[in-house]
Amino acid sequence: MNLPFSGFSKLSKEEKINWIASTYFSTPEEAVTLLKKYWNSDAKIQKLHDEFIENTITNFYIPLGVAPNFLINGQYSTIPMAIEESSVVAAASKAAKFWSTRGGFKTTVIGTEKIGQVHFLYQGDVSKLDLFFAQTKAKFYSETENLTANMRKRGGGILNIELRDMTNEMDNYFQLHATFDTKDSMGANFINSCLEQFATTLKNEAQLFDLFTETEKNIQVIMSILSNYVPNCIVRAEVSCPVEDLAEKHIPNPQEFAERFVQAVTIAAIEPYRAVTHNKGIMNGIDAVVIATGNDFRAVEAGIHAYAARKGQYSSLSHAKIENGIFSFWLEIPLALGTVGGLTSLHPLVKLSLEMLQNPSAEELMQYVAVAGLAQNFAALRSLTTSGIQEGHMKMHLNNILNQFEATEEERHEVRNHFKHHVVSHSGVVNFIESLRQ
């Protein structure tokens, strides 16, 4: 059993690696060699990566790919995607090409409002708290003016502050519920700084409010923090075309395909077990672009899944219909993104990805991300309702299996030829490789 290590964070990078290698690995030299193999040869770039987080020992690479041929609001774009899952980029590209000849994707930003809250306890007369808030509200704005000055110059800032009575949910619990517009910044630091000043103002002004008793003056702030649930920071992405225009090689009967597609989306709307997997497919596209552009995919995931359950049951994020001979497919999702600050100005590949997207505003990036999610969902549902999901996925996964078994070029050629005419499965590929080697 290994004992706790005191002062690990104070070790140099080399010392951290040597301790980990000697403590946890039977062949420490191999572990050290592997970790150093993934260092960047450019010392400046490596130092930059080392300082993104704490206790860095190496870099953990995932592929950065691109999905071309996205026709969005009449303009063609190539979308960067950072993801390790086979077939995601191929599926997005295929969907992009499909819709590029059918009118392309249309997008609309419906709102950009973000939310933060000061959670506090107050024991006393609620009517007096209401009066106190009404008289103090202006001070919440004035005492954050130094924090909001630059954001206000860009057209953003604090939109509104409300007092919310939450005592039906928890004894003595109230909120300052604030809304913000952070323009091209994701805005987490900005929002949290404003909220912490709200909390300070709240406690200080309560001490000076004549109508409060000593108990009422003793407002207890529990925490001040932004919310990653942004139901009013919404983007819509959609595609539509006459049903007959859906026809292609794998869709010989477009009416039947459209009806089955709508049924598949309806099942995801009413069946949570299906909805989770349905939405995971959407997030394949969304997360890949969010990561490639240096945004927080954990925050995006949490907010989007909360939105999917906003009506009391987890449900599909996308929707489809056939009306007057027109097939329509769309989604509306909450996305709090930024194109300035954080990794967007530090990570070289993030800067490259944003430049590939023509240095978009936060609203424009919302649209790219939503389109990637819708394209991914369309590709998955097209496969599910026609040939099945595994045929294309396993062919893409074939490379991973070949790499796992360190197949030679000759073996790769034999395997690919064989599985042109056979169903790809992990066991099937392994058995075929073993038969070749015998």
pLDDT at 408: 87
What pLDDT was estimated at residue 128? 98
Instruction: Assess whether pLDDT exceeds 60 at residue 169.
Output: yes
Considering the domain boundaries, does residue 77 fall inside one? no
pTM above 0.85, yes or no: yes
Which CATH number does the domain housing residue 200 bear? Answer: 3.30.70.420
User: For this structure, is 393 an active site residue?
Assistant: yes
pLDDT(53) > 60? yes
Question: Residue 390: pLDDT above 60?
Answer: no
With a pLDDT cut of 90, the percent of the chain lying above it is: 85
Q: What is the pLDDT of residue 436?
A: 83
Q: How many domains does the chain have?
A: 4
Annotation marks residue 319 as catalytic = no
From 296, 347, 363, 397, active-site residue: 296
Q: What is the pLDDT of residue 392?
A: 55
User: Does 238 share its domain with 355?
Assistant: yes
71 assigned to some structural domain = no
Does 422 have pLDDT greater than 90?
no
Catalytic residue among 16, 94, 347, 393: 393
Q: What tens digit of pLDDT does each residue of 58-87 get?
A: 999 999 999 999 999 999 999 999 999 989
Is 165 an active-site residue?
no
Asked whether residue 406 falls in the same domain as residue 355, the answer is no
| Residue pair 70/96 in contact by the 8 Å Cβ criterion | yes
Whether residue 431 sits in one domain with residue 414: yes
Domain that holds residue 432: 392-437
Q: Is residue 74 part of a domain?
A: no
Long-range (24+ apart) CB contacts under 8 A made by 424-427 are 424/390, 424/391, 424/394, 424/395, 424/397, 424/398, 425/394, 426/397, 426/401
Domain assignment of residue 384, yes or no: no
Which residue in 137, 280, 395, 418 is the catalytic one? 280
Catalytic residue among 13, 50, 85, 177: 85
Clarify whether residues 332 and 396 are in a common domain: no
Tell me: do 304 and 220 sit in the same domain: no
Same domain, residue pair 33 and 168: no
210 counts as catalytic = no
Domain containing residue 265: CATH number: 3.90.770.10
Q: Distance (Å, rounded) from C-alpha 169 to C-alpha 59?
A: 45
Q: Which long-range contacts (CB under 8 A, 24 or more apart) does 160-163 make?
A: 161/137, 161/198, 163/129, 163/130, 163/133
